[in-house]
Structure 1
């Protein structure tokens, strides 16, 4: 029997990169999967690729009305939440514009916060659930040009610990996966060669593939990590050691 059979997983930002690969693994292990994204076209393409058991809901995590509509669509059925949707602009602090800063925090922190706040009560009533926040190596490692992004991901790691303390007594686990530089189209478009340079500086000497990070997400979402909560799994090629 597949270990996630009978469970429903919600993966935000699930139409590409780490989100798409996480949705693929969760579905392969038996979960019914809902993926979100802003593009209907990319969502339909992702569902066609992933196959049966996966459906798409258009949602923009930076827009609270969109978050509320997503919650209404999901109802009380979600057992696993993967907070993966993210904005990751690169800019030096002295060049950071307010609009980009606000969009980063609206998506990476506020959207995730109120999504969890709305979905967690049903998990708490059922006495089980798993929330996995996809953060970043730069949440704990200084990288020039990543100030707003790193601050938003550090906030999400702090929420991981707070939610673990709040929800743990009711059987709901909350953890983070902190990827290092990962070879995805979105990151390449925003960071270009800098992403590869960060990868070469790691002890493993390379960037990650999205499927490698998805394995860490699956571990924390599944019963394999049944006694793990409030933790961050550093899937960063040794970045935390460098």
Structure 2
């Protein structure tokens, strides 16, 4: 597949999990991938695998909770055609237990970094008349719990930005969408998610590749008339009411 040949894709948080799978997916479709994250060793491993598979990639180290790093990343990424705002962090627990430092880190990494990167790169896409921004939200933006108030709020804000930016940049040919994963088997032990399987219509937990394939669709020409959308990628979890025990 080569629908992204000649395009540069920047994927934040692409040294692990969904971001890593997305880096592989976009590279396989011909994109020149800018891999970014805090761990240079893991970044090098992602780049090496992409290159071994015949793709093109480079690594730029960045901590998205650091404002200067976000600005530097935008500068070093250069001319970007596809921006995937994937990186995120969460501190979970009752709201009263969330510290000021945890609160600030979630707002910086999950929201401000998305805002700054998009503001830096989307106007340049608009000048060229094309581009795609994909924001990775979460089912937590719509399904509240007693442990994710701040995390869910940051993701709900990202979905709101997605809609606003779709209206703002659409006339210039730039599409802005979001994906909202449910539970995904990444670095969290599988046992943590067992309770979701019986209430998920597809009766399984997502792999990172399930999410990356939808991101790749939104990055490519097959989604040319899709903008302002938030696509749940959760096996139907958000579409149904959980079944209560008999």
Aligned to 2:244: none
Aligned to 2:66: 63
Unaligned residue ranges in structure 1 (runs of 5+): none
> Alignment partner of 1:240: what SS?
helix
* TM-score, normalised relative to structure 1: 0.94
Aligned to 1:11: 11
Whether contact under 8 Å (1:199, 1:205) holds in the other structure is yes
Shift of 1:193: 3.8
Matches within 5 A, 1:72-221: 72-75=75-78, 77-185=79-187, 188=188, 193-221=191-219
More deviation, 196-205/123-132: 196-205
Q: Aligned equivalents of 1:235 and 1:32: distance in 2?
A: 25
Deviation per CA, 1:85-123: give whole Å up to 9, x if none: 000221111211111111011000001100110111210
More deviation, 52-61/166-175: 52-61
Whether contact under 8 Å (1:200, 1:207) holds in the other structure is no
* TM-score, normalised relative to structure 2: 0.93
1:235 to 215, 233, 243: 233
Shift of 1:240: 1.7
Shift of 1:197: 2.2
Q: Aligned equivalents of 2:66 and 2:153: distance in 1?
A: 20
Whether contact under 8 Å (1:173, 1:228) holds in the other structure is yes
Distance verdict in 2 for CA 1:199–1:57, change over 3 Å: farther
Unaligned residue ranges in structure 2 (runs of 5+): 241-246
User: How many pairs align?
Assistant: 237
Shift of 1:196: 3.2
Q: Aligned equivalents of 1:105 and 1:203: distance in 2?
A: 32
Whether contact under 8 Å (2:12, 2:84) holds in the other structure is yes
Aligned to 2:44: 44
